Structures are given as C-alpha cells and as structure tokens.
Copies of this chain bind each other. A is one copy, B any other.
Amino acid sequence: MRTKSITIKDVAKKAGVSIATVSRYMNNPSSVKGKNRVKLEQIVKDLNYKPLLYARRLAGGKMNTYGLIIPGYEDIFYSFYALETIRGVAAALNKRGVDLHLHIAGSKDSYNSSLVEGIIFADVIENMEQLRRLARENVPIVVINKKIEDIDVSYVAIDNFKGGYDATEFLIQHGHRDIVHLAGDLRVQCAMERLEGYKAALAKAGLPYKEELVKIINFSDRETRIALEEMFELRKFPSSIFCCSDKVAREVLIFAEEKGIKIPDDLSIIGFDDNQLMSYGHYMLTTVRQPLIEMAEEGVKMLMEIVNGKMKKKCGVMLKPEVIVRDTVSFYKKS
C-alpha cells in the first residue's frame, strides 16, 4: 500500500507555522521572511516535501504538464512522422522543464484534459470532433502539421503543397515528362496537398495531368508493391517516381533492385521526409525534407505563450520543406 505522503500540514507543524505560510514559501520563497524561511528551507529539504500536484491544481495551481494527442492510426509506432513528432515535442518540452502527457486518440474521444495545462494536437484526422470539443472547453491548444481554418485555434504546419510542387518540378527540370506519383491516404491533409502540388507543377510546365499516373498507396509498403507490380507487368513503367514518403521510396528501390532496374539511369526516384532510415544504403535517396523537429519546437513555443497568456489571438505559421539533392534522380535519357 502506498504510504501516505507528507503533506503541507506535516511541514507546517514541524516548522511551527501555518500551512498558509508553507504554501507561500513553496510558491515564492522570498515572500516568507527571517528565520521562518530558513526553517522551511531546511525542513522541506529534510522531508523531501513535494506538493501533490493534483491537490494544488484543484486549488488553482499549475501542473507543469502539456498533453500531446496523436491520432491512433495503424502502426503509428512504426511511422517516421509520428515518432519524429513525439521526439520533437518531448525534446522541446524537456528543454523547458515541462513534462509530457501522451495520448493516442482512439475511436471514442475519452481524453480528459484535466491533467494538462495545454495540448499539442499532432495532426488531426478522425479526431476532428475531439479537437472541436477541447477548443470549446477553452483548453489552450496548438495544432501541428495541419492548417486549421474553421476553428479558432493556432497551428504550425508544413507547406506540403510546395513540397509536392518542388519535388515534381525537380523531376521536370531533369527532363522527366513521365512522372508517377505514389500518393498517401488522401484523407490525410499532407497527402492531398502533395498531390495538389504535383498537379500544379505539371500544369506550370504545360504537361497534362494523367489520372492513371497517380496511385493511391496509403503510405503502405504492401500497396506500393502491388502498384509497382501492376505497372511493371503492363510495361507501363515511368521514367521517374515521386513518392509520398521515404519509406515508400525504399520499397521502390527494393523492387527496382529485384527487377534489375538501374537507379537512377532507368528510373529516377524522389522521396519525402528525409528519413534517416534511408541515409545509408545502396543509394542516397533524393528527397524532400520536412522540418518536423522545428515544427514541434515552434508549436511548443506557441503553446507556452498561450498558456502564459502572452498570446491572445489565433496565429498560423507555415514552415517550408526543402529538396535534398542526392543520388537517385538523373537527367532523363531516352532509352
């Protein structure tokens, strides 16, 4: 059984002062004077007294904990994006001495916000209603990795449209006209925006948009392979592929190796993420880097300002992705 922890009363009794004085001392030592302070200093250390945060909170104090809510899609703990986000947020909070309360959103919106002072929403997919509810409850909130238009909530997102645009344009500049896009789940904002960027870059270059060149593979290795097999069987392999993630690009590389397709001579590939998983291998993958860590840092910074009342109105920040040129894209050669 958990021993009764020492309380403010114990400290007060031992010091011969009232609990109010102890409370004041804990929250602002310099408000207690003379030998009372000296005594309290000593006793608090001796007893290793730590106020119960929930009691303090009930009486109106702080908990020093922020929440991070991530949508609970399948294999989330194997997703580069999710892990990188957790890492980024944890690091940003850690730097500020704040603890992290992690919640994976499920189907039933059970989240109880009473344990945190503010919440970072990492992406919002099926849990939009949850976001609405929490926003209604006036919990300080910052959404990261998604632009929020219709709710009065601050966000910091990445310009995925530009990412898709730049990746596609990069291929076009290398002479490719035959560009397949392996796209993610289009219900996910970033996947949709990357696709839009792809379309826009084609249009800009005066290239026709062909629906059959876009394969929705939902970020999945298995579906990627199916799509590749199909194109291969039908002898409809393109000269270049823009992949919605590096993990997908990896699957393409593996497939190419199996089939004896030369990279980048026979096929150019550009990924998305700059996942370190791909930074060492047969090929150095050309890709688009998203500043996920910076996004988390920025989000935490904003949230802290909101919690501390230093930011009153909604604010939206857009971060730019960047093409990382490595070895898997070459100039188009007519074969």
Copies of this chain assembled into the complex: 2
Q: Is the CB of A90 within 8 A of B102?
A: yes
Please name all residues of chain B whose beta carbon is closer than 8 Å to the beta carbon of A1 when the two chains form the complex: 138
Chain A, 252-287, CB within 8 A of any chain B CB: 254, 276-277, 280-282
Please name all residues of chain B whose beta carbon is closer than 8 Å to the beta carbon of A139 when the two chains form the complex: 2
Please name all residues of chain B whose beta carbon is closer than 8 Å to the beta carbon of A210 when the two chains form the complex: none
Q: Is the CB of B102 within 8 A of A54?
A: no
Q: Is the CB of A280 within 8 A of B250?
A: yes
Tell me, in angstroms, the Cα distance from A90 to B72 when the chains sit together: 12
Given contacts A2-B138, A72-B94, A90-B102, 10 further A-B contacts (CB under 8 A): A1-B138, A5-B114, A50-B114, A52-B114, A54-B55, A54-B58, A54-B114, A250-B280, A254-B280, A276-B277
Q: Which residue of B lies closest to A88 (CB)?
A: B77
Please name all residues of chain B whose beta carbon is closer than 8 Å to the beta carbon of A2 when the two chains form the complex: 137-140
- Asked if A9 is an interface residue, CB under 8 A from chain B, the answer is no
> Quick one: CB contact mask for A1-19 with B, threshold 8 Å, 1 for yes?
1110100000000000000
Tell me, in angstroms, the Cα distance from A94 to B55 when the chains sit together: 26
Q: Is the CB of A110 within 8 A of B97?
A: yes
Tell me, in angstroms, the Cα distance from A3 to B113 when the chains sit together: 13
- Asked if A115 is an interface residue, CB under 8 A from chain B, the answer is yes
Interface bin, chain A: 35 or more
**Complex partner residue of A3 from B65, B137, B254, CB under 8 angstroms:** B137
CB distance from A51 to the nearest CB of B (A): 8
Tell me, in angstroms, the Cα distance from A114 to B65 when the chains sit together: 12
Contact (A3, B138) CB under 8 Å given A99-B101, A101-B65, A277-B277? yes
Instruction: Return 7 A-B CB contacts under 8 Å, by A number.
Output: A53-B115, A55-B58, A58-B58, A77-B87, A83-B87, A86-B90, A282-B282
CB distance from A150 to the nearest CB of B (A): 20
Q: Is the CB of B90 within 8 A of A94?
A: no
Chain A, 51-94, CB within 8 A of any chain B CB: 51-55, 57-58, 63, 65, 72, 77, 83, 86-87, 90-91, 94
